[in-house]
Amino acid sequence: MLNKQDKLDLMFQALADPSRRSMIERLSKGPASVSELAKPLTMSLPAVVQHLQVLEASGLVRSEKVGRVRTCRVDWVALQTAEDWMMDRRRTWELRLDRLGDFLADQTKG
């Protein structure tokens, strides 16, 4: 089983590609079939499927096949995990910058 850090690594690796980010953006509007996801992209259907496999392996996308149609959707819980990690980093840096601002303000008074 992958630990939390390994899952985050897979998520960020998946999101590093602009085509996969485009697919996530489309899926954030609602579920879509593989062919719907492929329409705006300038790549073959097999290439789209490979990108979707990366997104699924990362946990960001789930899919189900009904008949001949594979429908994909964003896994919001997984996406929230990545967002939580980024927000933790942001809070850390905001606190550091606030302390630096306070320090610099004290230096200009003295």
Can you give 3-22 as a three-state secondary structure string? CHHHHHHHHHHHHCCHHHHH
Give the span between the Cα atoms of 72 and 51, in whole angstroms: 12
Contact 32, 102 (CB under 8 A): no
Give the span between the Cα atoms of 97 and 103, in whole angstroms: 10
Residue range of the domain that includes 12: 4-109
**pLDDT mean over 64-73:** 95
Number of domains within the chain: 1
Evaluate if pTM is beyond 0.95.
Answer: no
Q: Beta 32-33 vs 61-66: how paired, if at all? A: unpaired
**Tens digit of each residue's pLDDT (9 = 90 or more) over 4-41:** 778 899 999 999 999 999 999 999 999 999 999 999 99
**Tens digit of each residue's pLDDT (9 = 90 or more) over 74-91:** 999 998 988 998 999 899
CATH number of the domain that 59 lies in?
1.10.10.10
- The structure tokens 């690594």 sit at 9
